[in-house]
């Protein structure tokens, strides 16, 4: 089965390039973004407005904001979509920056169903209370250093979920050795000069604020508990802190920018380990020409 993957750090321009690829090669896009799965979480996730494009998008707006969605669930749905899109003689294009989502496909990671263990989760929560979050994070670094690098050290929920996955995964989730040969894969990575990427991120955050991120979060907290995993994402947790009076408006904006830049750095660290990725320069004047050449060599299109 054919598969194109396009990944890269937040703010680099994956969406724009993915639309061009999909249009050129009769493709359908499968989002690999762990926040764009949530309905109504639109501005802070830079979610595409699917009503404004003819390109079919999957795995966007599939769960409510108070629901959890595991890597296992993503993997199973994405595999089904990839097979279905191939059967219809179209090109599946997996697009996003959530490392575990993408690796679950590329390396065919195997999990116990849903990978949840209530007793183990309670044990971890108790450890966090007794020994602190730094202790749990240190455990994650030891068990799965790749996942640890991608996770905010202060996000208790994600640290605990990653520890659950590390415990329940039948294969080592940090392993880049077991390649999934099921797919005829072209794995593309989009990057750009670091200073310009950070500038893009800062401008995007300014645009999010201008577009009404504060209003969006105020509406969302009427619908879902503030303890929901969706509110722990960058762009939402900072606005929540502002709404609660914990930080100023200026501090909120600067914190979103800083956290987004740090996340981009962690994403690049994660993906740079993978030698299957063909890296492309976002600022290359012949960017799409290089994509066409790679697609032609891989798929004869």
Q: Which residues are annotated as a binding site for substrate?
A: 10-15
Say if CB 299 and CB 184 are below 8 A apart. Answer: yes
Strand ranges (E), 167-218: 184-191
Binding residues for ATP: 8-15
Say if CB 280 and CB 287 are below 8 A apart. Answer: yes
Say if CB 8 and CB 14 are below 8 A apart. Answer: yes
* All residues at 6 or more sequence positions from 36 whose CB lies less than 8 Å from its CB, including other chains: 45, 47, 59, 60, 61, 96
Binding residues: 8-15
Task: Considering only CA atoms, give the Rg of the chain.
Answer: 19
Positive or negative CA dihedral for 79, 82, 85, 89?
negative
Say if CB 201 and CB 261 are below 8 A apart. Answer: yes
Residue with tokens 């200073």: 195
Say if CB 107 and CB 173 are below 8 A apart. Answer: no
177: alpha, beta or left, given left = phi > 0 and alpha = psi -120 to 50? alpha
């Amino acid at each position: 089965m054919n598969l194109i993957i396009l990944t890269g750090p937040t703010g680099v321009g994956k969406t724009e390039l993915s639309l061009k690829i999909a249009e050129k090669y009769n493709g359908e896009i499968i989002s690999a973004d762990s926040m764009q799965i949530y309905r109504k979480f639109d501005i802070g996730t830079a979610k595409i407005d699917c009503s404004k494009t003819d390109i079919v998008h999957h795995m966007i707006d599939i769960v409510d904001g108070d629901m959890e969605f595991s890597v296992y669930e993503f993997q199973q749905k994405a595999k089904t979509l990839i097979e279905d899109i191939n059967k219809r003689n179209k090109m599946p294009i997996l697009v996003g920056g959530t490392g575990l989502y993408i690796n679950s496909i590329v390396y065919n990671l195997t999990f116990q169903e849903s990978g949840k263990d209530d007793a183990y989760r309670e044990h971890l929560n108790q450890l966090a209370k007794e020994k602190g979050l730094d202790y749990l994070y240190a455990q994650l670094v030891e068990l799965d250093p790749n996942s640890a690098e991608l996770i905010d050290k202060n996000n208790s929920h994600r640290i605990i979920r990653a520890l659950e996955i590390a415990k329940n995964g039948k294969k080592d989730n940090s392993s880049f050795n077991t390649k999934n040969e099921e797919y005829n894969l072209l794995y593309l990575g989009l990057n750009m000069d670091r200073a310009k990427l950070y500038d893009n991120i800062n401008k995007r955050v300014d645009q999010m604020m201008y577009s009404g991120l504060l209003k969006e979060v105020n509406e969302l907290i009427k619908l879902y508990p503030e303890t929901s995993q969706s509110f722990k994402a960058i762009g939402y947790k900072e606005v929540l802190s502002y709404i609660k009076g914990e930080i100023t408006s200026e501090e909120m904006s600067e914190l979103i920018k800083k956290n987004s830049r740090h996340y981009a750095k962690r994403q690049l660290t994660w993906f740079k380990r993978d030698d299957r990725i063909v890296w492309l320069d976002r600022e290359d004047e012949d960017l799409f020409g290089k994509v066409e050449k790679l697609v032609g060599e891989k798929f004869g299109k």
